[in-house]
Amino acid sequence: MLIIPAIDIKDGKCVRLTRGDFSQKKIYLDNPLDMAVIWRKQNAKMLHIVDLDAALTGEMVNFEKIREIVNNIDIPVQVGGGIRSIDAVKSYLDIGVGRVVIGSAAVTNPSLVAELLKIYSPSQIVVGIDAENGVPRIKGWLESTHLKDFELALQMKEMGIERVIYTDISRDGMMQGFGYETTKNFAEKAGMKITASGGVTNSDDMKKLNKLTPYGVDSVIIGKALYECNFPCQELWYNFEESMSLDHNFSTARKK
């Protein structure tokens, strides 16, 4: 089970939300690159970055912040949030982003996904399905759709999408455990590679999540639980690194 730390960027800062509510925002670091360096030092193999401003506006507000992370970290980075055009996808892939996450546009403009798959590999294009009670929500989780979560997944699968990032919105940021049954039901019906997201809180959740590997769940994005040190050894690492300055010269992590 690949564990992927999440870095959400709002107004240029590293933040976490509760259930996607922008009014319940907690700032963890002023510079998202600092957070990326910390996760890499803690042996992360991939990072998941979301431009929250772009999710609301469709504009690549934090593009330069994301470029800075990609240029200084030697592991794959996947990016989501407001990616609604071929040009936006190209811009991210051109700076070295490993794969982009299409969210709202998969619902509002599914032909975009079809066009992208004519240009790029399915390994570079994934679809994010953020659902509440089995219904996908889009545009920063502010609007509901007319589809069921698995129906959207099957549409994307028919187009050639191989992986879905599935978020149970009702659990996201709540620190109350992830939606095991919800995720299992979705994975069973979708029959795709699944990256789970939303609500994974501790090691017990990870053990439960491992039971879903036969259904295609092979990775998980974790946000607030990592930031709040809910896993063994994290507190030790953080206490040790509090006295260290992040000088961005993490030599083993630089590409250039």
25 token code pair: 């925002």
Q: Classify each residue of 203-234 as buried b or exposed e, where b means 16 or more C-beta atoms within 10 Å of its C-beta.
A: eebbeebeebeebbbebbbbbbbbbeebbeee
**Does the annotation mark 30 as catalytic?**
no
User: Which one of 8, 51, 149, 172 is the catalytic residue?
Assistant: 8
Longest alpha-carbon distance in the chain:
51
**Does the annotation mark 51 as catalytic?**
no
Which stretches does DSSP call E strand in the chain? 2-10, 13-18, 21-29, 47-51, 77-80, 99-102, 125-132, 135-138, 143-144, 163-168, 193-197, 217-222
User: Which one of 130, 149, 168, 205 is the catalytic residue?
Assistant: 130
Burial label for 92, CB within 10 Å (0-12, 13-18, 19+), is buried
Which residue numbers are catalytic?
A: 8, 130
